[in-house]
Structure 1
Amino acid sequence: MKDILIITNYFPPETGAASNRIFHLAEGLQKHHFKVSVLTPLPNYPTGKVFEAYKGRFRHSSVKNNITIDRLWIYASNSKNKLLRLIAMLSYSFSLFWFFIWNKIPKTVIIQSPPLLVAFTSIFFLRSKKRKLILNISDLWPIAGLELGAFKKNFSYKMLEKIERFNYNHANLILGQSNEILSHVRSLFPKKNTFLYRNFPDFVTPKVSKKNTSKGKLKIVYAGLLGIAQGIYKLCQELDYTRIELHIYGAGAEQNKIQTLISNNPELNIIYHGEISRDKLHTALMEYDLTIIPLLNRIYGSVPSKIFEYARLGLPMIYFGGGEGEQIINEYNLGWIAKAGNYSDLNTVISKINPSEIHMERRETIKEVSFKNFDFNTQLNLLSEKI
């Protein structure tokens, strides 16, 4: 049985796409006869505060489903203050360095990126001719930060670019969630060994709802992080509610603004349901006609994992983010496309959706497409051969 260590910033009981993705990877590798261990901070996302059950600890170790999980100290913060965010990343990097000194590290290590500094710390201290380092890139930083307006092209940005290149250069294998990510890596290091590793989900699907589409207004649902990149607050402001209801599940930086908007504008057909467990969410989603996947701005390299999760549920989608995600929606006929950032076009697209298009047969077809083309275990089998 081959030992493998996964280093990540996010892991359950934290919620969100990043946490789910790494959990499924760890569990999948364990089922493929790898001895898996995980290094992660004390859980704190998305609140920026260490969860109550872990407060006051510098380290917490446990074993779940035969996976050893070591949770390390972090100065937790989700502050908009860049210095505090930097301190948070550096604190976890320090904990990793301390762990590396006192513990035996397996010969194969999967490192999640971003955050860039955490990946850099891991690669810097673990690089060795005898060790295989696998860098799992879910978003392209610092490019994504520049597109989101978090960075400016200054000295700090150039330093982050150098760190990015260091990480790519010293990784033995690079996993990328999109073809755009892999193209970017190969533009810098043409001979780098790469593997397209999509964020395919792995869960038992609830039955597709037998109800017909809503007889009145279309019930559109958004479920996920209420962060800056998703732009849900602006979406709430820009949608035409003449023939739709918008239902929202999740938590994040824009949560309070969204709740205030709803409170101050009761005439808007927006219902906020809070945050619920993933299993309960999957069941709840079956009651809606459509889901919407928005991005405030088109982000190069980004392919929202919601595409694959909703496809597995058989839920038709409205995609509003551009890029490679848009191509996937079109290629597999998973729903409707609106031009990224163009809310007028989004409202036009929604107004043209014929409720008769949302029926059981279409939902079952979407599920079949998912099982055939977005299968987690098929992808993991291919990855296992490269590790």
Structure 2
Amino acid sequence: MGKNVLIITSYFPPEIGAASNRIFQLADGLQKHHFNITVLTPLPNYPTGQIFDGFKGKFKHVSEEKNITINRLWIFASNSKNKLLRLIAMLSYSFSLIWFFMWNNIPKTVIVQSPPLLVAFTCVFFLKSKKRNLILNVSDLWPIAGLELGAFKNNFSYRVLEKIERYNYKNSSLILGQSEEILTHVCSMFPKKKTFLYRNFPAFNPPEIKKTTSNGKLRIVYAGLLGIAQGIYKLCKELDYSRIEFHIYGSGAEQKIIEGFISQNPDLPIFFYGRVTRDELHKLLMEYGITVIPLLNRIYGSVPSKIFEYAHLGLPMLYFGGGEGERVVEENNLGWIARPGDYKDLNRVISRIEVGEISEERKKGIQQTAIRTFNFGSQLDELKKLL
């Protein structure tokens, strides 16, 4: 009999995105190592803010997928910019969690995804016990990240969120942090807190590197969320297109304004393809020269999981976000660095990249570095010892 583990998250497939992929890989990896995994998650609604077809009108949905028991709970779904509606959405899921806790046996090992802070607080408050191994998986530092993104102001509400953050850390048995900056932040509050660096390494078989064709232009691709933090609309406006093409995959808040910019500037070599599945995207990305990983503002504690995923594809990257992610790209020779927020420097770096530099050998070198250094299996083996 394997050990029972409950994973509580706000994002899970069929939802898309880094958070969903990360938690699924954790659940799937532990299940394959003979843990009995149960997942608690809302009815799927991200990023549309609408309950997905097949789940509408349901209070809950229970399924068995890849030997993982998935309990999908009711949520008042919303992706509104209205803070009150977003708060109601988080609280609705919190109430569903409380109801579940009341009527079900909770195992001794529980992994809670944070953020959202309020959801994590609900779990920590109701499940903390000396007999329980309560593990907080921190992927972003809220509320600090919200302040840096302009989502919060440094007022009374922000200070309440800071207290919630401290409470969550204090009452967790173990903190998993996806960056060294996150762990440093946690230890600055609680120096004796047990922590573990748990990067967002991918868990797929690296594909064979194939030679790509070129029309003489540098084909740059961006794939992912088209949100405010990524700043793809501004990137479209600021890039020098004299020797490049820019290809975009994804969806999000900026999609319409990006599509509008492309239609108003038909002479610019910008191509938008919308959202595709992860497996399909991996095949498509192999055809490009380099990928750009931008952040409109440097976010403390954030290391985009794209770095590790694209490295496994052997895709050279142009990193434009600063912080710890920049150091990971630089130290592992994964591509090029441009100063965050400096579009002149970005275009200068691009102008110095020769199409011939992006050889099959270079891509294979990046992929071998990823296989050796960003190894999901090795990381999971270390994590298992703590469960």
Amino acid at match of 1:4: V
In structure 2, what is the Cα distance between the partners aligned to 1:257 and 1:209? 34
Matches within 5 A, 1:3-152: 3-152=4-153
1:222 and 2:257 are equivalent in the alignment: no
4+ long deviations beyond 3 Å = none
Amino acid at match of 2:133: K
In structure 2, what is the Cα distance between the partners aligned to 1:147 and 1:236? 23
In structure 1, what is the Cα distance between the partners aligned to 2:272 and 2:7? 35
Amino acid at match of 1:278: R
1:338 and 2:338 are equivalent in the alignment: yes
Report the equivalent of 1:366. 366
SS in 2 for 1:139: coil
Residue 124 of structure 1: CA displacement?
0.3
Residue 152 of structure 1: CA displacement?
0.5
In structure 1, what is the Cα distance between the partners aligned to 2:171 and 2:266? 54
In structure 2, what is the Cα distance between the partners aligned to 1:209 and 1:286? 8
> C-alpha offsets along residues 289-337 of structure 1, whole Å, 9 cap, x if unaligned?
0000000100000000000000000000000000000001110000000
In structure 2, what is the Cα distance between the partners aligned to 1:88 and 1:198? 28
> C-alpha offsets along residues 332-368 of structure 1, whole Å, 9 cap, x if unaligned?
0000000001111101100110222100000000000
> C-alpha offsets along residues 88-133 of structure 1, whole Å, 9 cap, x if unaligned?
0000001000100011111100000000000000000001111110
Q: Structure 1: which 5+ runs fail to align?
A: none
Amino acid at match of 1:242: S
Number of equivalences: 386
In structure 1, what is the Cα distance between the partners aligned to 2:268 and 2:166? 47
Report the equivalent of 2:210. 209
Matches within 5 A, 1:236-385: 236-385=236-385
In structure 1, what is the Cα distance between the partners aligned to 2:334 and 2:25? 23
Q: Structure 2: which 5+ runs fail to align?
A: none
Amino acid at match of 1:281: L
SS in 1 for 2:40: strand
Amino acid at match of 1:344: K
Residue 206 of structure 1: CA displacement?
2.6
Asked if structure 1 preserves the Cα contact closer than 8 Å seen for 2:212 and 2:289, the reply is no
Residue 216 of structure 1: CA displacement?
1.9
Amino acid at match of 1:28: G
In structure 1, what is the Cα distance between the partners aligned to 2:234 and 2:89? 29
Asked if structure 1 preserves the Cα contact closer than 8 Å seen for 2:212 and 2:288, the reply is no
In structure 2, what is the Cα distance between the partners aligned to 1:175 and 1:124? 18
In structure 2, what is the Cα distance between the partners aligned to 1:10 and 1:26? 12
| TM-score, with length taken from structure 2 | 0.99
> C-alpha offsets along residues 162-207 of structure 1, whole Å, 9 cap, x if unaligned?
0000000000000000000000000000000000000000012332
| TM-score, with length taken from structure 1 | 0.99
Asked if structure 1 preserves the Cα contact closer than 8 Å seen for 2:216 and 2:355, the reply is no
SS in 1 for 2:13: coil
In structure 1, what is the Cα distance between the partners aligned to 2:377 and 2:338? 32
Residue 277 of structure 1: CA displacement?
0.6
SS in 1 for 2:378: helix
In structure 1, what is the Cα distance between the partners aligned to 2:199 and 2:212? 31
Report the equivalent of 1:166. 167
Amino acid at match of 1:142: P
Residue 262 of structure 1: CA displacement?
0.7
In structure 1, what is the Cα distance between the partners aligned to 2:307 and 2:170? 31
In structure 2, what is the Cα distance between the partners aligned to 1:99 and 1:215? 57
